[in-house]
């Protein structure tokens, strides 16, 4: 069922949110960004380093209805968010100090245009045992398009039909699974959802 959405955030709202998240930055140090969905396979920004990483306290979950990129208002899709509990394997990107302003500006335009996420700094544990404070986009449970209460059957149904301007919801999940595999990482839950959705489509 479609539902009304709030207006896109204004430039002033985006800039205020960005300034709040960067208030601690000394403008000389590199910063890290943690990717758990499309940022793994389509970052679209410059970075100095890219390393597999794990964050604790949040897990990757298909819990955000997509009404533009992977669905429509009439037929919402579903994409990943970081939701409370557990841990998440993903990719950490180190952004050089000179690139922080443009890269973070791009990220806010890409991720925050509907205000569905809460930008959060958290500790990301890198594969070599080191850790870094990384910015991650945590889903807001009070967002109009939060879909964390959907059952697995409902998510599979959405994956079998939703399509937006950047393709289907199933394609989004397939790309995420493939990118994790390429990095030597796995998400068994996402893999199961993909298999179930593919079987559903094959069955007609």
Quote the pLDDT of residue 179.
97
For residue 2, what pLDDT band results from cuts at 50, 70 and 90? very low
Tens digit of each residue's pLDDT (9 = 90 or more) over 73-84 = 999 999 999 999
Catalytic entry in 11, 44, 111, 182: 111
User: For position 4, what pLDDT does the model report?
Assistant: 52
Hey, where are the domains in the chain?
Answer: 11-203
- CATH number for the segment(s) 11-203: 3.10.490.10
Going by pLDDT thresholds of 50, 70 and 90, the confidence category of residue 5 is low
Has residue 177 got a pLDDT over 80? yes
User: How much is the mean pLDDT over the chain?
Assistant: 95
Whether residue 134 contacts residue 55, with contact meaning beta carbons closer than 8 Å, is answered with yes
* 111 is an active site residue: yes
- Say what the pLDDT of residue 120 is: 98
pLDDT band at 114 (very low <50, low <70, confident <90, very high): very high
d(CA 130, CA 116): 30
Token duo for residue 113: 């245009």
What pLDDT, in 10s, does the model give residues 34-72?
Answer: 999 999 999 999 999 999 999 999 999 999 999 989 999
Place of tokens 């493939």: 178
Question: What is this structure's pTM?
Answer: 0.93
């Amino acid at each position: 069922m479609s539902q009304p959405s709030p207006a896109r955030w204004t430039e002033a709202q985006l800039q205020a949110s960005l300034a709040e998240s960067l208030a601690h930055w000394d403008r000389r140090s590199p910063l890290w960004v943690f990717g758990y969905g499309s940022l793994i396979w389509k970052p679209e920004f410059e970075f100095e380093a890219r390393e597999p990483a794990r964050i604790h306290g949040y897990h990757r979950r298909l819990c955000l209805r997509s009404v533009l990129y992977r669905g429509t208002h009439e037929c919402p899709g579903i994409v990943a968010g970081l939701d409370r509990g557990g841990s998440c394997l993903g990719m950490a990107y180190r952004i050089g100090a000179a690139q922080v302003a443009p890269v973070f500006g791009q990220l806010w335009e890409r991720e925050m245009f509907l205000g569905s996420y809460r930008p959060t700094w958290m500790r990301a544990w890198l594969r070599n045992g080191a850790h870094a404070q990384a910015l991650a986009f945590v889903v807001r449970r009070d967002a109009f398009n939060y879909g964390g209460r959907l059952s697995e059957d409902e998510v599979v149904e959405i994956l079998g039909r939703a399509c937006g301007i950047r393709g289907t919801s199933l394609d989004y999940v397939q790309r995420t699974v493939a990118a994790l595999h390429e990095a030597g990482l796995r998400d068994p839950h996402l893999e199961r959802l993909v298999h179930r959705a593919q079987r559903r489509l094959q069955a007609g």
